[in-house]
Structure 1
Amino acid sequence: MIQRVGVIGGGQLAWMMAGAAKQLDLELIVQTPHADDPAVGVATEVILAPVGDAQATGRLAQKCDVITFENEFVDLEALFYLKNQGVRFAPSLESLKPLLDKYHQREYLASIGLPVPLFTALVDPTEPLDFTFPLVLKARRHGYDGQGTFIIKSSDELINTYNQLKSVPLLIEEFIPYTQELAVIAARNDSGEVVVYPVVETQQKNQVCHRVIVPAQVSLKIQSQVEDLSRHLLNELQAVGVFGIELFLTPDETILVNEIAPRTHNSGHYTLDACKISQFEMQLRSVAGLPLGTANLNCDAAVMVNLLGYEEAHHDYAEKRKTLASIPNAYVHWYGKTESRPGRKLGHVTVKATGNQANYSKLLKIADTIENLWYS
């Protein structure tokens, strides 16, 4: 029986997982590099070490029954050594292997029949391309929240960006003129049970998610396609855990898979308040071998707004948080980070809606109100 769950990473995702662990009577042991990381104050035990330190992960393994992940910035080869010594990981290292490098991820998705944008590895930016500008340039590893992603509009810009990034392995892909960016959280356990949360719309600025609207305003056909591809992906991977799946919806109603995150995901933060079982509890249920339960909403609709840093400061923004909490049906989650800087995720606000308030335009107005209060 699994009682102690190790987590590689101690940021806000592990912090939110800690509340679910308490509900399930599980102990959470965290490996994270900084004593002020969000999960440090709520974990049962902490190993202070970089997430890529496999020796520290070996010490973590001695204290827990299974190890899961808050992020994917790990040394997979070194973790395989631990796996061969009997350490249990969930998701398995085999299911992570095709996903950590974005180029390999694209190859894998295409190989199992999932629709993806046209792509190729970038080796020499002076060579002729099978792409027209604009195109998307991505770092193959360690990119998140818009970091490592560039919209390139010309050959000169491609060469200059390539030279600035120097030896970073890169992927290029076609620019998709989408009508909506969508996302979905899906989970699978060891017995093959799969649950899929509602499809959501994510609204991004500079490749950073600002808002999530749930459910997305899409047809039943699109909802069904997204659910089917989610189940197909997790079953092909034989995955155990929660996965965040980002998608594009094109003007001709075609779904393309953008990226897969093998962990809980920002697009699923609304589940803490707007679902019967949050993505964080679902992650723990899946890795602990528990029945997954339902991914249904507990309201008609919801909007989640990220509270992003907009200045260099040490500030807890207590008054602004108090004002945000006064919005009807609002739930403010503050990650306890001591330093603000532009673009850093400091917290989020979810507002649940029922009846007439679940109207899409009203949800957008609520999101506008939150952002006006936060960024003013």
Structure 2
Amino acid sequence: MTRVGVIGGGQLAWMMAKEAPAQGIILSVQTPSKDDSAVSLAQEVVWAPVDSVEGTEKLAQKCDVITFENEFVDLEGLQVLAKKGVCFRPSLQSLAPLLDKYEQRCFLASLGLPVPQFKNFEKIEDLESFGFPVVLKVRRHGYDGQGTIIVKSPDELDSALKVLGDVPFLIEEFIPFECELAVIAARGVDGTVTNYPVVETYQKNQVCRWTIAPANITIAQVEEVKAIAHKLLSALDYVGVMGIELFLTQDGRILVNETAPRTHNSGHYTLDGCRTSQFALQLRTVTGQAIGDLSFCKQGAVMVNLLGLDFPNPNYEERLTRIASIEDTFVHWYEKSESRPGRKMGHVTVLTNDHTVPKARAIAQHIEAIWYS
């Protein structure tokens, strides 16, 4: 059996660990926390922070290949292990242009891919060419809305800069989009690139609330997203799964927002909605297996994130039971020991045969009404 190590032990690693036995894979994780979701399913656990090179060296002794569930790694330190023969997929060279969001923007632009106007922040005058609203985004370690601030007026700028402090960040033009899109793409060891259908995502406070698969866009727009994904993964010589977030502008243009070099929240619907999930696909690509069948099980799917509730002693079990009673519904609860407002505690996927955008949105809103009531 092939042994795969995952740097990180959260819900993404947990969902990979669930898929591993069917792929003939033994999965181990590197995490400092006994409360992480994947700890209960991993074959072995290396108890170390995800940016600990010493921890990854121990993980490598138990594994044939190492992959990632987050970007909080010491890339320079890991290069030492790579030179010793440790196999990382995606490779460290593939990750290098992506982990810093300003460098990622520069790399995307260098490939000729469409991106919003952007600039590294060095002095207050750098903001002058953008106007308001404007987006300020930390260059490293921002996720789920953390580290992204939309500044709507000059009056809000001082407080935004104080929140960011001395952390390096970039400036981006605000895009008044028609909707937000995403696609999960993957590239195998043999260079074959594939992708799931393009999906529509709905964000609130920069946190994904739900996903509709497939998105209601034109064939030409689907082909443009596919071409972006194929060009990016090939240019990186990438092996593994990548999430790509995009904007559809009000005049029909596609812009790349940002990428995640791993499995991604926008692809959670594939666990139940597709014949091969993104987590199985990640394991298959990094171990050199055939990609598999990525087709839908039904005509489409709706995925809704279940976020931590902002009031004391929420009765999660009652809500989960009510949601699970909906036809063709699959509930995934991450068994996290601590609930915080806005934290991703689980997700639910509903499969649909009557797939229209109004119906899909009605399903998402019905689940949210149960969850947040």
- Tell me which interval the TM-score lies in, with the shorter structure as reference length: over 0.9
Query: What SS class does the counterpart of residue 20 from structure 2 fall into?
Result: helix
Q: Which moved further from structure 2: 24-33 or 306-315?
A: 306-315
2:64 equivalent in structure 1: 65
- Normalising to structure 2: TM-score of the pair? 0.98
Of 364, 367, 370, 2:364 maps to 367
Output the CA distance in 1 between the equivalents of 2:22 and 2:9: 19
Structure 2 stretches lacking a partner, 5+ long: none
Q: Give, in whole Å, the separation in 2 of the partners of 1:223 and 1:40.
A: 38
**Equivalent residues of 2:183, 2:244 under 8 A apart:** yes
Matches of 2:151 and 2:22, distance apart in 1? 46
Native 8 Å contact 1:126 1:159 kept in 2: no
* Secondary structure of residue in 1 paired with 2:124: coil
SS in 2 for 1:358: coil
Does residue 294 of the first structure (1) align with residue 289 of the second (2)?
no
Give the Å deviation of 1:160: 3.0
Cα distance, 1:129 vs structure 2: 2.1
* Superposition deviation, residue 198 in structure 1: 0.3
Aligned 1:199-218 pairs, distance under 5 A:
199-218=198-217
Q: Is the 8 A contact 2:147 2:164 kept in 1?
A: no
Contact kept? 2:119, 2:126, Cα under 8 Å: no
Q: Name 1:85's counterpart in structure 2.
A: 84
Contact 2:90-2:240 within 8 A present in 1 as well: yes
In the alignment, the residues of structure 2 paired with residue 204 and residue 182 of structure 1 have an alpha-carbon distance, to the nearest angstrom, of: 10
Runs of 4+ in 1 over 3 A off after TM superposition: 312-316
- Answer yes or no: is the 8 Å Cα contact 1:316–1:338 preserved in 2: no
**Are residues 1:306 and 2:310 paired?**
no
Distance 2:213 2:50 in 1: 32
Work out the CA distance in 2 between the residues paired with 1:155 and 1:178.
Answer: 22
- Name the SS of the counterpart of 1:151 in structure 2: strand
| CA RMSD between the two structures | 1.3
* Cα deviation, residue 258, structure 1: 0.1
Cross-structure match for 1:50? 49
Q: Is the 8 A contact 2:332 2:346 kept in 1?
A: yes
What is the rounded CA distance, in whole Å, between the counterparts of 1:267 and 1:127 in structure 2? 33
Which residue number in structure 2 is paired with residue 137 of structure 1?
136
Most deviating of 309-318 and 191-200: 309-318
Return the alpha-carbon distance in structure 2 between the equivalents of residues 260 and 126 of structure 1. Answer: 28
Q: What is the deviation of 1:128?
A: 5.4
The 2-side partners of 1:126 and 1:196 are apart by: 41
TM-score of the superposed pair, with normalisation by structure 1:
0.97
Tell me how far apart the structure 2 counterparts of residues 83 and 367 of structure 1 sit (CA, whole Å): 44
Give runs of aligned pairs for residues 28-39 of structure 1, distance below 5 A. Answer: 28-39=27-38
In structure 1, stretches of 5+ residues that fail to align are: none
**CA distance, structure 1, for counterparts of residue 314 and residue 209 of structure 2:** 20
Shift of residue 315 of structure 1?
6.3
Matched AA of 1:148: G
Residue type at the aligned position of 1:74: V
State the AA in 2 paired with 1:360.
Answer: V
> Structure 1 residues 15, 127: CA separation in 2 closer, same or farther (over 3 Å shift)?
closer
1:147 equivalent in alignment to 2:146: yes
Task: Kindly report which structure 2 residues correspond to 1:179-258, keeping only aligned pairs within 5 A, or say none.
Answer: 179-258=178-257
Q: How does 1:327-338 map to 2 (within 5 A)?
A: 327-338=326-337
Q: Residue 121 of structure 1 aligns with which residue?
A: 120
Amino acid at match of 1:27: I
Counterpart Cα distance in 1 of 2:230 and 2:320: 38
